[in-house]
Amino acid sequence: MIDPKKLKDTVSFLDAGADSLDFFNLIVAIQEAYGITIPDSDLSQVNTLDKLARYLNARLP
Amino acid sequence: MYEEFILDLPFKGARDYLRLADILPALIELARDRFGPQADVDSLTIRRPFRRGIQVSFEPSVAFSGSFRVRHGRENTPGWLLETERPVTRRIRFDSSLLSAVAVSGPGFAQILEPLPGFTAFDVVVTLMKQVAAQVNRRHWWMCQLNLETPLTGVFPVEVRIRQNLNGQFLLFDIVQAGTAIGSARGILEGVSSQEAIIVPVI
């Protein structure tokens, strides 16, 4: 489980305590919430809060 | 003082671990004992295979290996699963190849049209998930999460469809019962070298 105290903008979700299942669930939740598909090739672009925010900013209207 | 419960579950067939389909019916029974006959478990996550007895707690624990949620009336109550030191001493006969043999499958889906005596609906769902997952990768998949919008009943046909394949390592399934989507499940491709390290940071 992610430890909120360890979750910093540039720290990867996995380094913050998430495991693969948490990350998988995060990707699925983001896709459902924003109606987008995050392709496999983009996964490395969404593995921190900072990268995820930039990724979504670039793709959402 | 809070209550804790032990699930006295047997290993099934040749397996030396307890899987999602083994645990869920016991949790539903426990939930109904505790919260009433209408209670149901609508979410179950197991983060590693249970090879020993399972303790159920309704108090948060940092040492948990699984978690679940009981829906009862308008309330939801979370619970946690912990692996104990108590060995699993019972084993019952179980052969899921009988289910696999009657499953009908195609690209991204598998279904079973009618119930087969001796198997629960949960057995059916896990067997179908494994059958569909094998289309993606024939290595072992760990079925680790189940979320049900409505309870899984004995109604057939039961179908499992792949909704998303993430990186060839994660599968998101839809569970369809009698033509209606009733929930979803997640599977993760098992690590090559270690059964214990199934859920590993891979990305």
What confidence score (pLDDT) does residue B48 get?
A: 84
ipTM surpasses cut 0.85: no
End-of-domain residue from the set B75, B92, B109: B92
Domain ranges for chain A: 10-59
Do B32 and B62 lie in one domain? The reply is yes
Number of domains in chain B: 2
Q: What is the pLDDT of residues B59-107, one digit of tens each?
A: 988 889 999 999 999 999 999 999 999 999 999 999 989 999 999 999 9
- Judged by CB atoms closer than 8 Å, whether chains meet at B200 and A27 is answered as no
Does residue A43 sit at the B interface (CB-CB below 8 Å)? yes
Quick: pLDDT tens for B48-60. 889 999 999 999 8
Per the CB < 8 Å rule, is A20 touching B166? no
CA distances from B2 to B23, B76, B102 (A): 21, 18, 45
Q: CA-to-CA distance for A7 and B20, rounded, in angstroms?
A: 30
Q: Which helix (H) or strand (E) holds B124?
A: helix B121-136
Note whether residue B8 is domain-resident: yes
To the nearest whole angstrom, how far is the Cα of A19 from the nearest Cα of chain B?
6
> How far apart (Å, rounded) are the C-alpha atoms in residues B54 and A54?
42
Phi, psi of B184 (to 5 degrees): -140, 165
d(CA B100, CA A55): 42
- Closest CA–CA distance from residue B141 to any residue of chain A (Å): 13
Please give the Cα distance from A10 to B57 (Å, whole number).
Answer: 35
**Residues B78, B101 within the same domain:** no
Under a CB-based contact definition with an 8 Å cutoff, are residues A2 and A16 in contact? yes
Chain B positions in Cβ-Cβ contact with residue A25 (cut-off 8 Å): 145, 186
Are B103 and B60 part of one and the same domain?
no
E-state strands within chain B: 4-7, 11-12, 40-46, 52-57, 66-72, 75-87, 91-92, 104-106, 109-112, 141-148, 158-166, 170-177, 180-189
Answer yes or no: do B51 and B25 share one domain.
yes
What's the predicted TM-score (pTM) here?
0.88
Chain B positions touching chain A (beta carbons under 8 Å): 45, 47, 144-145, 164, 166-170, 172, 186, 188, 199-203
The first and second tokens of residue B62, run together, are 């940092």
pLDDT in tens, B9-54: 999 999 999 999 999 999 999 999 999 999 999 999 998 889 999 9
| Count of A-B CB contacts under 8 Å | 41
Which residue segment(s) compose the domain that B17 sits in?
4-92
Cβ atoms of B134 and B143 within 8 Å: the answer is: no
- Amino acid in the structure at residue B15: R
Q: Which of B30, B31, B44 is nearest to B75 (CA)?
A: B31
Are residues B84 and B119 both part of a single domain?
no
